[in-house]
Amino acid sequence: MATGIKTVSKNEDNFMINMRLMKKTGFYQLLDSRSLKVFGHNVFKCMSVVQMSILSSVAFIFVANIYYFSDDINTVMMYSMLITSDVLSILKLYYILQNSDTIWNCIQMTSIDDLSYKYHDRRILEEGRSKSTSYSILIMFMWLNLIVSWSLGPLFVTNYFLIVEQNDEIYRYRFNIMNFAFPATDRFYNDNFMIYYGIEFITLVLWCHCTMNFDVLLLSMNITFKYQLKTISNSFSAFNFTRYNDFKNNRTKNVKHHKESESMFDFKSLIYDQQRVIENMKNIYRVFRPVVLTQLASESLIIMLLSCIIMLNYFNGISLLSALNLRIFAAISTFLFHIYVICYLFDDVNEQKDSMNLALYSSDWTTSDLQHKILLLHAMRMNNAENLRLQVTRNKIVNFQMFTYVRMIFFSFYYSGYCGHYFY
């Protein structure tokens, strides 16, 4: 079924997502159906298709280089890591393009003014907006820091070469950002090092742009869901039936009926707000689930490959504090922190959603009439039935426990690697 596109103009400052950052990166224009068009097509979507084509070509170059450097296990692992990162960024951009209308509609529901209940504590939503802005800037600088560390490395490491032996000849390629060596000869590559450096730097920026935009959106939406649910939970627990029942004394039956209807209307507004947030979560989870699960698996693999490269470098006499290894450490810490943030925020949303029934029970429902009690019971049953999670398998979900599992594998991998080297 086709999904209508919401084009309601709202104050950008009221959105919990950092709309200014989205506009600066072009992500806003990519999703907005009113953006500049050429021959009926969104210019930014066309540019994204070109971006995907370039990254796809780069993936084929990495595959060719794996064959070319097949005798060097260290280099093969490096190219395997680069292929994994490259394909993951293409997947992220592809899903954004395929679901741009759904994502745009979900973003429109992240405004502070979108909730219908008029007595919500806006300070909680404003706190969430501030946190969303902070996290989006943090994620942006996290990936930019990785770009800087990887792009500066080749400028400082001038005595390290990738060595290929073919047909009784040895080729020595100067170390670069990603080393698009094949099919050039080492002499041609080294003589035109800065040209290759520029091409590889542009490729790195394109990769970062895809990755950063998706992550900013994912984390911002999670923070939005958490604070919207937290606001609704706070309103449930603070809902005061007595405030409406106080009008019963010295009032006519008509006035009494009017006030009781008002209390019912406000309580239904709270339930409606919760249902809309849950529905928005379902839509976003449906879009993000394949990418997030692939991302967690891919980044865990990347961390393992980079760890192997560091250990091999160390065993080959390259210092752990060398520029070559420091940029790999920067990549490992970035991906590890990224997995931590994803698992932490999903765990936060899960906990907040699970607390809704406690908030309902915390309201002064004992002073309400039978109609309100029945409505509250139905709301609690609805929450129990709605077991919305981002599931990896039927029994495993994305939460903080998953990050603990990845971290445990990471450290046990290091420990077994170093112990194996010294004892065998």
One-letter amino acid for residue 75 of the chain: T
Q: Which residues pair with 38 in a beta bridge?
A: 41
> Per mean pLDDT, which of 27-41, 84-98, 242-256 is the most reliable?
84-98
Locate the domains of the chain by residue range: 20-244+254-417
Phi-psi region of 252 (alpha: psi -120 to 50; beta: other; left: phi over 0): beta
pLDDT by residue (tens digit) across 7-16?
444 567 788 8
pLDDT by residue (tens digit) across 163-187?
777 667 788 888 888 888 767 788 8
The CA distance from 15 to 220, in Å, is 11
Q: What is the mean pLDDT of residues 258-273?
A: 74
DSSP state string for 191-213: HTHHHHHHHHHHHHHHHHHHHHH
3-state class percentages of the chain: helix first, strand second, coil last, to nearest 5: 75, 5, 20
The CA distance from 135 to 132, in Å, is 5
Q: What's the whole-number average pLDDT of the chain?
A: 81
pLDDT by residue (tens digit) across 124-159?
888 989 898 888 999 999 999 999 988 988 888 778
Q: What is the mean pLDDT of residues 298-324?
A: 84
376-391 burial, b at 16+ Cβ within 10 Å, e below that, comes to: beebeeebeeeeeebe
Range 100-105, long-range pairs (CB < 8 A, 24+ positions) = 100/30, 100/31, 100/45, 101/3, 101/5, 101/33, 102/3, 102/283, 102/286, 102/287, 103/31, 103/217, 103/284, 103/287, 104/5, 104/6, 104/31, 104/32, 104/33, 105/3, 105/4, 105/5, 105/6, 105/283
In this prediction, residue 385 carries a pLDDT of: 66
Structure tokens given for 143: 């990936």
- Cβ neighbours for 236, distance < 8 A, ≥ 6 positions apart: 270, 356, 359, 360, 362, 363
> Residue 38: pLDDT above 80?
yes
In this prediction, residue 167 carries a pLDDT of: 66
The CA distance from 367 to 373, in Å, is 9
What confidence category does residue 243 fall into, taking pLDDT thresholds of 50, 70 and 90? low
Q: Which of 80-89, 109-118, 153-162, 242-251 has the lowest mean pLDDT?
A: 242-251
The CA distance from 338 to 88, in Å, is 14
> Residue 247: pLDDT above 60?
no
